[in-house]
Structure 1
Amino acid sequence: MTSAKNADDESPMSETLPLTLDDWLTRLERQHPVSIDLGLERVAEVGERLGLLAQPLAGRVITVAGTNGKGSTVAMLEALARAHGLSTATYTSPHLLRYNERLRLDGREAGDDMLIEGFERVEAARLAGEPISLTYFEAGTLAALWSIAQRRPDLALLEVGLGGRLDAVNILDADVGVVTTVAQDHAAFLGSELEGIGREKAGILRAGCPAVLGSPSLPASVRGVADELGARVHALGEHFSRQGAADAWEWTGRNDSGRRIRLTGLPDPGLPLDNAATALQALALAGVALEGTHCRQALKEVQLPGRMQWLGNWCLDVGHNPHAAAYLATRLAERPCRGRRIGLLGMLADKDAEGVIDALSEVVDAWVSVGLSGERARSAAALAGTLEAVGQPVLHQAVSPAAGAAWLAAELGDDDEVLVCGSFFTVAEVLAWWESRSARREHNEIRNA
């Protein structure tokens, strides 16, 4: 087994004062030499020490991988399962405002105490024997899985990080594996060749278990891996389908016994319908007897922050690659804007800004470029240059998303709209700015009442 020692390995587990959640997160960020270190050997060893590999995590486990659509698929799975009376645990990443967002139990964010206990258990396990170094994501994943295992919910929903085969989530066998979409993203880790990316995503599938393929345009490698494993494939457009307009569509699929199921009059969830259809099929294969009334109610009420999230005339979407931007453009084209639609765009340096801009250029009238911080940062000036090089007007450059939002808020007309996109970091900062501004307004209204 390969391990990497660091300064924290020999430090006592307890401090003079108990560590807060922020203390733990800071510690985890520092304790591994790199932020992303794909591989299962280290995390599986700590998982075994925690007892996670010895017994089922939940009644059923559904693992969701893919380039785009993971978050929306998991959100709809959670809403559908809870509408059918199941207890649920959901692990997703990254978060927008609070780390607590990553672990949800029966629809509620985990509290600080629960997360801290999970980190303490992981820390004890990684030091129980030869010390094993874990990344921030690996430690967080193990802590979440340990917390879920203590509760044994009916259904655990696990969202893969950036990969699949070598992602920390994949130390557990899923009862149902889902691959939503495959597109180019995270090229530094997954490469730029779609067939290779598809093989990595398909690494979450298991022999003899259902494999739900949520796009008709997946690379052949995904189906190839499923066939090699002997997974039971259920592909969108072949074994299940969705038809009709978004506000009244229908779904046809099959349960785990092969019986045909049809649901009609389904509402628009405000999220991709392919992902909604995929969630329905995955849940049916997990043994849930789908009931039309429960499904309609769940899809009507499901919410996912940062995905086509409207706050007044501001739309926030974390889309950060051309595939996601193309979907976003399609949805915005269905919603004509009487004024200007202004894009507030902030992107990391390793993302395909040209492809995102091209996809959105027909539905955005002008842009505000904003800078992001960190080692992968792209400046507002660099992004403005990319926009202007393809003839897109730039109204303003701001050092940060919050600064860009503040400038833009003062310039908007009554009929104007704002699209905030390009990165989780961009959306998170603007969402925090929005909440802070709303709180200040509420405070002033109370003070002046």
Structure 2
Amino acid sequence: MTAASSSLEAWLARLEAAHPVDIDLGLERVAEVARRMGLCDGPVAGRVISVAGTNGKGSTVAMLEALARAHGLRTATYTSPHLLRYNERLRLDGREADDAALVAGFEAVEAARLDGEPISLTYFEAGTLGALHAIRDHAPDLAILEVGLGGRLDAVNVIDADVAVVTTIARDHAAFLGDDLEGIGREKAGILRPARPAVLGSERLPASVRATAEALGAPVHALGEAFARAPHARGWTWRGHEAGGRPRELAGLPDPGLPLDNAATALQALALAGIEPEPAACRRALADVALPGRMQWRGRWCLDVGHNPHAAAYLAARLADRPCEGRTVALLGMLADKDAEGVIEALAPAVDAWLPVGLEGDRGRSADALAALLEARGESLLGRAASPAAGAAWLAARLEPADRVLVCGSFFTVAGVLSAWGRDASEGAP
């Protein structure tokens, strides 16, 4: 690529067109390029925590980052996908990576990819390797890596984590992972390593996750057993233990506005990474943490990227805990390969009226297709819109003062509304 076309936008366009499929699970290609880049020659950070699961990864990563930074650590965080800008995927010391760092990573990946027999990489694989290159250059005390849709065969898994976290297991991405929860659990547990802590962040994980850990000899630290959360007069209490096994308790922690199971999991993973939780730092971190697109309130609009029944059930429960005097309207847009019927069923108890919106692209689903599913259930439809942006504009002109809106169903749905509002994903109400 010439200097004239070496912008981040040009690199992303090239990567999108470089591989015949978007998702190509397997480690042989990406591991060889990582080896050529020297990413396997030594640690990319002082400590590495990897986080896999179906739901809850993003919030767990966000809280890990906030907790680590509150304890004075230099951090690097890699997540996917992004909402508005590719730069969101890599954060260095709490700030989005700049274009130069990302481009340098892509250049390093390209040089290694062509150093010998050329190797084809997907957009995600090249982005992951580029991020790991930038993380190694940054040399943080702690790197927090969110695993993609898989686990065992995911590009992030070329790195051996010091602590591996599995949040939840549910049916999603069936075309790649199948519908069998035990099989999905084995795939997600592929990030575990022998003799390194495995933090299990749900009390309802398939048995295959623990079985994989035990077969590897990875010490299991499970929610409800090795660590737990409990109510407290001023917030909640975490009970867990440090890396050496000494028990710890932190009382009076604030509600971060994110799942408390994930908050407890983040605290336990941090402690097992050798970072002793300091009460004041933990309270400060959990009070200030924010994650765009996850129960993100902007006035009376709530935006959440949840796109499977498990996530939708959590959303419905949180909305029920926060009643309003008016209607709850769901602006719903979903991809064609997602379980829209399951999502609608899970949300229905908390939703009074619906506005289905269309999503474009090869995997898109039209508003009419969603409307047909809603009508078949006898749900109340306010109308339909061709896009999330059009739906948000239509709703904004018709809401009653006491109404609220849930924007959900896909990253694309939330991103479409945020883009239409023309503000940073982390800013306040429109």
TM-score by length of 2: 0.97
1:103 is aligned to 2:84: no
- Residue of structure 2 in register with 1:355 after alignment: 342
Residue 246 of structure 1 and its aligned partner are, at CA, apart by 9.5
What amino acid sits opposite 1:192 in the alignment? D
- Residue of structure 2 in register with 1:146 after alignment: 133
Residue 89 of structure 1 and its aligned partner are, at CA, apart by 0.1
Preserved contact between residue 92 and residue 138 of structure 2 (Cα < 8 Å): no
- Residue of structure 1 in register with 2:386 after alignment: 399
Secondary structure of the corresponding residue to residue 342 of structure 1: strand
- Residue of structure 2 in register with 1:441 after alignment: none
Residue 182 of structure 1 and its aligned partner are, at CA, apart by 0.1
CA distance in 2, matches of 1:106, 1:309: 22
Preserved contact between residue 233 and residue 252 of structure 2 (Cα < 8 Å): no
Preserved contact between residue 242 and residue 272 of structure 2 (Cα < 8 Å): yes
1:175 is aligned to 2:150: no
Q: 1:83 to 1:400 in 2, by over 3 A?
A: same
Alignment of 1:272-311 (within 5 A): 272-311=259-298
Residue 245 of structure 1 and its aligned partner are, at CA, apart by 5.8
CA distance in 1, matches of 2:402, 2:225: 43
- Residue of structure 2 in register with 1:442 after alignment: none
What amino acid sits opposite 2:326 in the alignment? G
What amino acid sits opposite 1:50 in the alignment? M
- Residue of structure 2 in register with 1:79 after alignment: 66
- Residue of structure 2 in register with 1:419 after alignment: 406
Q: 1:193-239: per-residue Cα shift (whole Å, max 9, x none)?
A: 00000000000000000000000000000000000000000000010
Secondary structure of the corresponding residue to residue 330 of structure 1: helix
CA distance in 2, matches of 1:86, 1:374: 41
CA distance in 2, matches of 1:246, 1:120: 53
Residue 435 of structure 1 and its aligned partner are, at CA, apart by 2.6
Identify which of 209, 219, 234 aligns with 1:232: 219
Identify which of 168, 176, 194 aligns with 1:207: 194
Preserved contact between residue 39 and residue 166 of structure 1 (Cα < 8 Å): yes
Q: 1:261-313: per-residue Cα shift (whole Å, max 9, x none)?
A: 00000000000000000000000000001111100010000000000000111
- Residue of structure 2 in register with 1:369 after alignment: 356
Q: 1:388-429: per-residue Cα shift (whole Å, max 9, x none)?
A: 111111111111100111101111111110000000000011
What amino acid sits opposite 1:178 in the alignment? V
- Residue of structure 2 in register with 1:126 after alignment: 113
CA distance in 1, matches of 2:233, 2:30: 42
Residue 18 of structure 1 and its aligned partner are, at CA, apart by 3.8
- Residue of structure 1 in register with 2:228 after alignment: 241
CA distance in 1, matches of 2:357, 2:232: 36
Size of the aligned set, in residue pairs, is 425
Question: Which 5+ residue runs of structure 1 have no aligned equivalent?
Answer: 1-13, 439-449
Preserved contact between residue 77 and residue 280 of structure 1 (Cα < 8 Å): yes
Secondary structure of the corresponding residue to residue 393 of structure 1: coil
CA distance in 2, matches of 1:164, 1:57: 19
- Residue of structure 2 in register with 1:44 after alignment: 31
Secondary structure of the corresponding residue to residue 394 of structure 1: coil
CA distance in 1, matches of 2:401, 2:256: 27
Query: Which runs of structure 1 show a deviation greater than 4 angstroms over 4 or more consecutive aligned residues?
Result: none
CA distance in 1, matches of 2:376, 2:322: 28
Q: 1:335 to 1:245 in 2, by over 3 A?
A: farther
Preserved contact between residue 247 and residue 268 of structure 1 (Cα < 8 Å): no
CA distance in 2, matches of 1:367, 1:58: 46
CA distance in 1, matches of 2:145, 2:320: 32
Secondary structure of the corresponding residue to residue 174 of structure 1: coil
What amino acid sits opposite 1:29 in the alignment? E
Residue 77 of structure 1 and its aligned partner are, at CA, apart by 0.1
Preserved contact between residue 104 and residue 110 of structure 1 (Cα < 8 Å): yes
Question: Which 5+ residue runs of structure 2 have no aligned equivalent?
Answer: 426-430
Secondary structure of the corresponding residue to residue 397 of structure 1: coil
Q: 1:4-60: per-residue Cα shift (whole Å, max 9, x none)?
A: xxxxxxxxxx32614211111000000001000000000000001110000101010
1:91 is aligned to 2:105: no
Root-mean-square deviation (CA, aligned residues, Å) is: 1.2
- Residue of structure 2 in register with 1:387 after alignment: 374
Secondary structure of the corresponding residue to residue 48 of structure 2: strand
What amino acid sits opposite 1:391 in the alignment? G
Q: 1:89 to 1:380 in 2, by over 3 A?
A: same
1:429 is aligned to 2:416: yes
CA distance in 1, matches of 2:34, 2:260: 35
Q: 1:358-386: per-residue Cα shift (whole Å, max 9, x none)?
A: 11111110000000011111100000000
CA distance in 2, matches of 1:138, 1:15: 22
Secondary structure of the corresponding residue to residue 129 of structure 1: coil
